[in-house]
Every structure is written in structure tokens, then in C-alpha cells.
Structure 1
């Protein structure tokens, strides 16, 4: 007979009404189709609008290559910084469900405004003879729309993957294994949306019109909202645990106040409440670890703590201290993902600009837009996810004895190594392209270089393979290693590597442009790439990626995984 403890989840999750979640009626794979469909439609909307954005900047806003590329990477970077805001709100106050629901409304408003800038007279830039002349006000409205979208993504990106993972109870071994598989299929659904965006929507933008090209993503986002709400009765919810920043500040201040207090030899004497659950809402207790011992002083019970009511700014529980330790341990791993994200960001900037110079013909009557080549990154992910989940993991599990096949750190490291080869492939293609330019004196030719754009496929395909290892590994790693009440925030932290990768790309382009254009030179990345050296930029990224990989090996060897009681 099933005991009462077996009827409910043991990770503190509740149903939509706030009651303990029944295992039989909530969560697991039955709740995931609504979340995965929501993510698929949301990503279709995002990539449908962003994949070709660099060309929109060039064509409709009349911007040069470097300016357009930097505007896209700055905006994209903001899309991955804003999740820190949404994650804080979700973990501290609203919970993941209501945060996602609220920010989706902002997202739809931004997409609607962007569609209007491409289709409504007065908001749309006037164009004559293929040259557009936007007013400052029209340009400003475009950027207002884009940054509203960035704000909207802030409440969705860090919460959806964590909310999906919340549907599986860590204390149940079968559900725990399903959770690991969920991250693979979550990323798969992202790329289904990206596939439609890169293949259909980019073509519509370049051949039908930007109004339709942006309007369809707005409709897709509306479908995402409907899908999300349809699954409401099936979802499991983690309770918000209060401000994580306040808890972090309390540990730092309490440990500083007690910097001269002597640590007890017996670590079991450190302060922890005796209740089964921790003092933090929605969180399990964490076991004491030996690193960063200076922080342990926040949990030392001093003489005055015994005679007064507990003041959290003077005395913190072991679990609260271990929360901060978990974050500190994550930071080096987090930093190692920035260079990878810089490489990834080239797909929406330099790869597109490089593709603009190549022959786009597919047969005598059809031309493929350069931004649509990202479809091969997506296809790569869609191919590699099932291979990884169904073939590589079982094979690796037999060899390593690890339930996941590879450890999360090993998985991410493999992706970092693979990404180096994408830059090498892009650099080799650029060398071949420039040699053809020099051989046939095509420096100022307005026509595409007679090299098929499909020679870009290897660099896209390799990045897709690297994503399956690194980005999915990051999703799972930051969720798994985060304290229970800080999972949205840690998911957002992993996303900020994409933001900083975009910002680093902008910085590198700016520095390279400044240095290489001295004394009247055109530089590596001029508006006419036939007179530039984009290959040098790719070699620079390959070298940085290799150095980053070696640093990562040192960091991964040092890292210790968290332990719950």
C-alpha cells in the first residue's frame, strides 16, 4: 500500500493552489509538452526576429558593417543580462510561473512595436532606390522595441528551463534521470523554433517584407503564451525563498563581524536549525564543505548569540553559508563560458557578413539569404541531441559508471574544445575567399565572390555540435549545482555568459578596428570585406578559445560538487 510520504513530492514543490504536489497528478513528462511547446514558439519568435537583425540594421537603418554588428551584439548581450532581473524576482517574490507569465506580456508588446516600425507609415523608414533614410525618431522607436523585447526575455530565459526541471523530483531516482534527459529535449525544442526562424522567416524578411517577417514572430509569441497557460493545472511549483541577495549579504556581513572568532574543531557545532527543512523557504539543507572557511564564521555561535534572539546579520545557518559557497564555486566555471559565447555570437554577425560576399544561389532561380545559413547550426543540434541522449550517454555510462554518461564538467569541456574548430573552419574559408579575390582582382566587385555560400556549412555545423555539449551542459550544471532557492538566479548567471560573450565580441571588434585602421589603413573588418582580413579576426578567436580551454581544465579539476543532506 502506498504510504502518505510516497504520494507527495519530497523537494518542497506545490501545485497551482499552493498545496503539496501529488506525484500522480502533477509534474514529470506529462507537464513538459506545454513547457516545451512554449519554449519552441518563444524561440521561434526570438530567432525569427534576431537572426537577420544585422541585415535589418544595414538595410532599413542604413548602418555600416561594424556599427550594425556592434548594435546587434550589444542588444543580444542585454537580452542575456536582463535574466538576472527576472531571476531575482522569481526566486525572491513571484515564483517562476508568475514571472514567466508577466514578462511574456512585455515581450509581446515589444514584438508588436517592432512589427509596426517595419510596416506602419510614419514609423517605417522611407526608402528610395534601395537606400533607406530613417529619421532619428524612427531609429529610436526600433531600439525601444528591441529593448522591450530584451526586458521580456529577462523573465522567461532564466525561468523556463528551471521551471521545466522543477517538474522532476530530485529525491526520486527515476525522475532524477528524466530531469537530465529533459535538458537535452528542452534544447532540442529551442532549435526546432530556431530552424523554422532561420529557414522560413529569414526568407520572408528578405523576399516578402520586414513587416511580415516580424509580424509572424509576434503571432508565434502569442501561441507560446496560450501553450504555457494550458498546462497550469499540471505544473509543480517551487516556493520563492525570499531575496537571495539579502541572504548573501547577511553571510558576508556576519562573517566579517566574527572575523576574530575562533572556529570550533567540531563542525557539527556550527549553527543550523533542528527542523527537517532548512530556514530558507523551498530549500533543502546543505552539508558543510571545507572550502572558503572564512565564510564559516558566519555560522559560529558566539557567547552573545546564546543570550539573544537570532539576528541573521550576525548568525547564519550552515545552509545559508553553503549557498554563498556554491555561488563562489560556480563563478570560475561561469567565466570560462564567456569566450565560448563570443565564438557563438559570430553566427549572427561575422558569419552573416562573410556570407553576404559569397554566391547564394541554390539552382538557377533561388537564392538563400546569408542569415539563413544558421539553419545548419540548428540542424546540427537537432541531429546531435538524439545521438547524444540515445547513443553517446548509454555508451559513456557503461564506460564511466556515471548515470549521466559524462560528468557535467566533462561535457562542457568537450564543447569548448569542439568550438575551436569552428573558428578554424571559418578562418580557412576566409583565406580561400581572399585568395580568389586577389587572383581575379575582385577587390571592388559588387557581385558575390564565385564561391558557394554552402562552404560555410562546416563552421555552422561544428558550432552546433559544440552547443550540445557546452550550452546544454551549462543548463543542467547551473540548475543542479545551484542552491534550491537560487536556481532561477543561477540559470540567469549561466545566461550572462552569452551576454558577456556578445559584449566581448563588441569590444574585440572595436579594439581590432581601432588598432588596424591607424595610419589610414582599412583594417581587418572594413565595409568592403574584400579589402579586409576577417580571417585574422577568426584566428584571434581560435587562439583565445584554446587558451580558455586550458584554463577551464584547471578550473574543472579544482571544482567540488555540492552535497545536500
Structure 2
């Protein structure tokens, strides 16, 4: 059997550091362990976070706006810390060890959070179910554990999706097609875990105790780490290629140093290693592109550059290194358009929950009340419904019309989700207008639950679930495929960072709206008692921002150029 048929051509290695054998490593066999890890980790995350705004409000005794802001800030941190995990993985440890070590940190954080909600002295003092007060020390322990979780969960996220995609050889057309499906099923595992968490754990938190409500997810996280470690022998691992930030800085510095150098029209005169593979470990060569020519100056050999011997990377960079920077810059406009979508997505664990708390939570004539945060399950059901529909029905049909192997291009898929998300905010705004109209007509401002079923909230959750299948999965695949080989964790972190910035933008919008609308003693749009406010106008603001964001996306995607690879790592 030829060597090429035995080993993966993308430069991956096995757990012993040897070239990865195609028959013994990778593909779906390895991915089952990765998907198992993701299922348990997302069960943990959503089981702990879905109801967090009510934990802050009722257990830590925070004002609704403060609780909402704290959830948004913490959620934003969970999607900013991926930069830390990505840099560590790409530069030093590799994705496997980064995931493994941070899983341990995750378990520690969850254990501490469980203790803070169950151990006397650490848990808030309560005078009834929803009349609790936390001391500064008790709040500090709670937030310390939450931000440990934010560090671990964030650090794992950009690595786990990229690590799963690494199990399929880019140079093998059959395996490459499976990679596109992997992102769909990876996202399905996220939402299956979230579905069980939002239905089971929220009920336990509301009806049993917060100690059990946090303790069960902590146990699930321990199982998650064991699941991941169990597949060690099967994994294909990309070698860390050194600090991507350093390489980017080298290109910038070298370009500035050579600001007066003329870039030749003949691209063959630009500096590149003569070897078949790139000088950057774990990376294939990238073809030269014509845009952003200023940075090409760093690849123009000068009289003082010793090309034959050792090259000073702060004065002369390879074409591949320059193209790494160009790739990141080209991704930025697409990246920015994901922030508004993430702000809309964040409302499901924020003002959607607070809105649901003001509605009738009874299930028909049964003596059962659905926790407001549990309506989130309809988002998970939306994703679970649309993933197989997209993968098995939409893709084959779209392929006949577009001729594209994946049915839609990644940018078309992202744009479709952005368009769909507009209708979720439009519906939510309309629903709140109807709810407030009922409050005003019957003058029931102080009534805890308006006689309007919480199940009227189902459509926006389901619509956002559909939008996620298009936009979030499209982003995962887009940032992975368009990233240079040695920067894939970092670029995956960029896609996740939009969610973090979306949460931060949500927090900022809440702060601005409260400050502007409470002037002259007014209750404002977002008072503690939403019956006196205008949450419908806040959702309307997000609708307008979503429309503007979609228009911007159409413009920037039209001018995007996809990267071009040269050669393999074999």
C-alpha cells in the first residue's frame, strides 16, 4: 500500500507523536468521544447558566437590571476567554492538552459553585424560597467559581470544534465531505445537552434546590473529561505552530521597516521557503493574493536580508506568513456582523426569561408550572429539528440549484440565518406589545403573572434555533476553513468572540437604555417590574439593528475572497 494511503496528508500525528495512520485514527470513530465530551460539557454549561438570571435575582437578591447585566457580563466573558485557550493551543500545548487541562479547571469551578449554593455559611441566607440575601463574601465565592468556569468553558470552546474537524483529512475528498457534516452534528450535540439541561436542571433548581441544580452539572462535567480522555489513542493531533500573534506582529513590523520598498509585480520575487511544506510547523503554504499589498513589503528581500542562511523574521517574512495576516484581516468584516446576531441570541437567557416570568406559567389544567427559563428548550428543539433537515434535505436540494458540494456556500448559510433572526425579535416585540396592552386595559400592573400563557414565547425561541443552524454552524465552518492551518483555534475563537461581544453589547444597550429612558423620574423601558416599562421598544430596537446588520453583511460578503492553498503537509 502506498505511503499516502496509509498516513493522513494534513500533517497530523497520533498521541505518540508519529504520523497519524488513516485506518487507526480520526474520522467518526474518534469524533464520537469528542461529541460525547461536548454533549456533557454543554449540559453542564446550560444546566448551570440557563436559570442564572433568576439565581442572581432571587438568591443573591439583585435588582432585575443588575442581574441581567451580570449575566450578560459573565456570558460575554465566556466568549472572550476563547482567545486565551486558542492562543495556548495554537502556540504551545496543541488542542488536545488544552482541552484536557481546562476540563480539570472546569470541574473545580463547578464544584466550588455547588458548594457556594449548598454549604451553610457559603450559601445565601434565605427567609422563604425567593427571599434570600447574600453577604459580600458569599457573592464573591459565587462569582469566583463562575469566572473559573468562564475561563475553562471559553478556553475549551475554540479548541473542541477545531479538534473534531482535525479528525478529517483536508487532502482526502471523502473525509473532507464528512467534515462539513461534523459541524452540523457537533452543533446538534450542543443543543441536545442544552435541551436536557433546560428542561431537567431548571426544574430541579426551581423545585428541589440550587445545590442539586448545580451539583448534577458538576458531575456531568467530570464525565465529560473522562469521555474525552478515553479517546486519546484514536485522535489525530495538529502540531502547535508557535505564537500566531508573534507571526502577525513580525509581518507588521517588517512592513513598516520597509515602508519605502516597492513591491514587485512578479510575485515569484517575493520570499518563500523552497521546501514543499511551509516554514510554519503544522501549516501548508498559502498562495499569494493581490489585496493589502502594503504587507507584501515584508516579503520583499533586501540587500541586508541573508536569504541563503538564517533569516531575521522581524525584517523578512515568507509569503505564507503574510497571507496569514491577510486572511485574518479579510475575516474581520464578516466577524463584526456576527455581533448583533449574538446580541439577539443572548436575549433567550436574559430578557426572554424575565418576560416569561411575568406570564402565566401553568401547563393547561395540570398542577404544574413551567419554569420561565425552561422555555429555552424550544430553542434546543428548533436546532435538533433543523440540523437533520438541513443536512439531509436542504443540502441535497440546494446542491441541485447551486452546484456547490455543500448546497450553500458558508457565507450564504450565515446570511440566511441573519435574515431569519430578524423575525424572532419582531415577534418578541409584538408579543410584549400585546402583553403590555393587556396590563394597561385591566390595570394589573402589580400582578405577578399576567393571564397570558408563557407558551406564546415558543415561536421566537424556535426561530432563533433555526437561525443558529444557519449562522452559528456556518460561522464555525467558515472560520475553520478560511483560517490558516496554524491559526485555526485562534480563528475559531474569533467566531466565538462575536457571542461574547454580543453579550457585552446587550449589557451596554441595557445600561444606555436605562440611563436615557429613566430621566425626569420616568420608570424607563426596563424597570424592575416590566409591567411599568416598554420591553417591546427594547426588542424593537434590536429588530432595527438586526435589519441594518443584515444589509451590512450583504455588502461585505460580496467583496470577500476565499483563501487559496498551495501543496500539502505530506
Q: 2:39 aligned with 1:37, yes or no? A: no
Give the corresponding residue for 1:171.
171
State the Cα distance separating 1:209 from its structure 2 match: 0.6
Q: Distance in 2 between matches of 1:265 and 1:528?
A: 66
Asked if the contact 1:77–1:501 (Cα under 8 Å) also holds between the matched residues in 2, the reply is yes
Q: 2:503 aligned with 1:502, yes or no? A: yes
State the Cα distance separating 1:216 from its structure 2 match: 0.4
Instruction: Name the SS for the 2:527 alignment partner.
Output: coil
Give the corresponding residue for 1:531.
532
Q: 2:383 aligned with 1:381, yes or no? A: yes
Give the corresponding residue for 2:293.
293
Give the corresponding residue for 1:406.
408
Instruction: Name the SS for the 1:76 alignment partner.
Output: helix
Give the corresponding residue for 1:426.
428
Q: 2:226 aligned with 1:246, yes or no? A: no
Give the corresponding residue for 2:225.
225
Give the corresponding residue for 2:452.
451
Asked if the contact 1:334–1:493 (Cα under 8 Å) also holds between the matched residues in 2, the reply is yes
Asked if the contact 1:254–1:298 (Cα under 8 Å) also holds between the matched residues in 2, the reply is yes
Render the CA deviation track for 1:219-252: whole Å, top value 9, x for unaligned: 0001101100111100000000001010000000
Q: Distance in 1 between matches of 2:379 and 2:505?
A: 22
Render the CA deviation track for 1:136-187: whole Å, top value 9, x for unaligned: 1001110001001011113211100000000000110011100000000000
Q: Distance in 2 between matches of 1:221 and 1:211?
A: 15
Q: Distance in 1 between matches of 2:289 and 2:133?
A: 61
Render the CA deviation track for 1:34-87: whole Å, top value 9, x for unaligned: 000000000000000000000000111001110000000000000000010010
Give the corresponding residue for 1:320.
321
Q: Distance in 2 between matches of 1:264 and 1:456?
A: 60
Q: Which runs of 4+ in 1 moved over 3 A?
A: 306-309
Give the corresponding residue for 1:545.
546
Q: Distance in 1 between matches of 2:263 and 2:433?
A: 62
Asked if the contact 1:333–1:556 (Cα under 8 Å) also holds between the matched residues in 2, the reply is yes
Give the corresponding residue for 2:475.
474
State the Cα distance separating 1:309 from its structure 2 match: 3.3
Q: Distance in 2 between matches of 1:57 and 1:497?
A: 25
Give the corresponding residue for 1:9.
8
Asked if the contact 1:103–1:154 (Cα under 8 Å) also holds between the matched residues in 2, the reply is no
Give the corresponding residue for 2:123.
124
Instruction: Name the SS for the 1:305 alignment partner.
Output: coil
Q: 2:56 aligned with 1:57, yes or no? A: yes
Q: Distance in 2 between matches of 1:235 and 1:444?
A: 58
Give the corresponding residue for 1:336.
337
Instruction: Name the SS for the 1:450 alignment partner.
Output: strand
Residues 122-271 of structure 1 mapped to structure 2, 5 A cutoff: 122-129=121-128, 130-271=130-271
Q: 2:415 aligned with 1:416, yes or no? A: no
Give the corresponding residue for 1:66.
65
Q: Distance in 1 between matches of 2:205 and 2:440?
A: 33
Asked if the contact 1:203–1:372 (Cα under 8 Å) also holds between the matched residues in 2, the reply is yes
Asked if the contact 1:13–1:239 (Cα under 8 Å) also holds between the matched residues in 2, the reply is yes
State the Cα distance separating 1:306 from its structure 2 match: 4.2
Q: Distance in 2 between matches of 1:155 and 1:443?
A: 44
State the Cα distance separating 1:439 from its structure 2 match: 1.1
Q: Distance in 1 between matches of 2:306 and 2:262?
A: 16
Instruction: Name the SS for the 2:305 alignment partner.
Output: helix
Q: Distance in 2 between matches of 1:131 and 1:87?
A: 41
Instruction: Name the SS for the 1:365 alignment partner.
Output: coil
Q: Distance in 1 between matches of 2:79 and 2:380?
A: 20
RMSD over equivalenced CA pairs, Å? 0.8
Q: Distance in 2 between matches of 1:77 and 1:439?
A: 38
Q: Which moved more, 1:9-18 or 1:146-155?
A: 146-155
Instruction: Name the SS for the 1:554 alignment partner.
Output: helix
State the Cα distance separating 1:546 from its structure 2 match: 0.2
Q: 2:96 aligned with 1:94, yes or no? A: no
Render the CA deviation track for 1:474-533: whole Å, top value 9, x for unaligned: 000000000000000000111000000000000000000000000000000101111100
Give the corresponding residue for 2:80.
81
Asked if the contact 1:162–1:488 (Cα under 8 Å) also holds between the matched residues in 2, the reply is yes
Q: Distance in 2 between matches of 1:325 and 1:204?
A: 49
Aligned length: 563
State the Cα distance separating 1:265 from its structure 2 match: 2.0
Instruction: Name the SS for the 2:109 alignment partner.
Output: helix
Residues 483-502 of structure 1 mapped to structure 2, 5 A cutoff: 483-502=484-503
Instruction: Name the SS for the 1:303 alignment partner.
Output: coil
Asked if the contact 1:40–1:189 (Cα under 8 Å) also holds between the matched residues in 2, the reply is yes
Q: Distance in 2 between matches of 1:305 and 1:318?
A: 15
Q: Distance in 2 between matches of 1:6 and 1:364?
A: 62
Instruction: Name the SS for the 2:400 alignment partner.
Output: helix
Instruction: Name the SS for the 1:451 alignment partner.
Output: strand
Q: Distance in 2 between matches of 1:250 and 1:531?
A: 56
State the Cα distance separating 1:268 from its structure 2 match: 1.0
State the Cα distance separating 1:364 from its structure 2 match: 2.7
Instruction: Name the SS for the 1:367 alignment partner.
Output: coil
Q: Distance in 2 between matches of 1:155 and 1:35?
A: 15
Structure 1 stretches of 5 or more lacking a match? none
State the Cα distance separating 1:17 from its structure 2 match: 0.5
Q: Which moved more, 1:359-368 or 1:164-173?
A: 359-368
Render the CA deviation track for 1:369-413: whole Å, top value 9, x for unaligned: 000000000000000000000000011111101011100000000
Give the corresponding residue for 1:395.
397
Q: Distance in 1 between matches of 2:328 and 2:265?
A: 25
State the Cα distance separating 1:6 from its structure 2 match: 1.5
Give the corresponding residue for 1:354.
355
Instruction: Name the SS for the 2:337 alignment partner.
Output: helix
Q: Distance in 2 between matches of 1:59 and 1:65?
A: 9
State the Cα distance separating 1:4 from its structure 2 match: 1.2
Q: Distance in 2 between matches of 1:306 and 1:102?
A: 41
